[in-house]
Amino acid sequence: MIVTVSGMAGSGKGATSRLFAQTFNFRYIDFGLLFRFAAYCFNEQRLEPLMSMNQNGRLEVSPQFTRISLDGHDLAPYLRSEEAAALTSRYASDPASFAVMTSWAENYVLSFASGNLICDGRNCGTEIFSNAELKFFLTCHFLTRASRRWRELREQKPQLSYREVCQSMRDRDSLDKSRMYAPARQPVGAVVINTARLSIEQVVSVMKSHVRF
């Protein structure tokens, strides 16, 4: 069974998906992080390694996606930054780049994962795993999302201001929603959950009510 969780940055899809996976013994897939890794490879002109690195052992991903290492160097801190998010949005706006990035990430997931999967990412449930058995779309007010994102990012960058995060998210949201190809949107048939006033545990409880184990 494949469950997808999508939504804009700060909607809670990552934390919710991880808790769901732990609670119900699903394999967690941070598709957004894989997608950012693919964009990183594009930017570093590593297109050929992108297609083969999961076969030759150069790429290592920890079970909970806390680490994603290339040649022994952990890229996860960079890939979770606003800089990497903006870079990924630019590459995702190009149909050819998006197709290669999506194909690699989907093949990577399916090459090692089996059984029940829960995948989170902006395009999960639309262009990515569009035939998933169950789809969720998380949403909440922009300022709530920005506050969550700021609290997350300032652990690595204490000097980062809330205003900077708001501006970065507005720019990224605008680009992702307005691009001509594969814009970020609510998947058809998705269960919509407003997470603004819900704890992570409460969101998972709502999700559970829609799952037929």
pLDDT band at 163; cut points 50, 70, 90? very high
Which value, in Å, is the radius of gyration of the alpha carbons in the chain? 16
Q: Which amino acid is at 58?
A: R
Cα distances (angstroms) measured from residue 189 to each of 14, 21, 28, 209: 20, 21, 21, 16
pLDDT in tens, 54-91: 656 678 888 888 899 888 899 999 998 888 988 888 88
Q: What is the pTM of this model?
A: 0.84
What would the mean pLDDT of 117-139 be, rounded to a whole number? 92
Residue 134: the pLDDT is: 95
Query: Is the pLDDT confidence value at 52 over 80?
Result: no
Stretch among 5-9, 20-24, 154-158 having the lowest mean pLDDT: 154-158
Per-residue tokens: 138: 């998380």
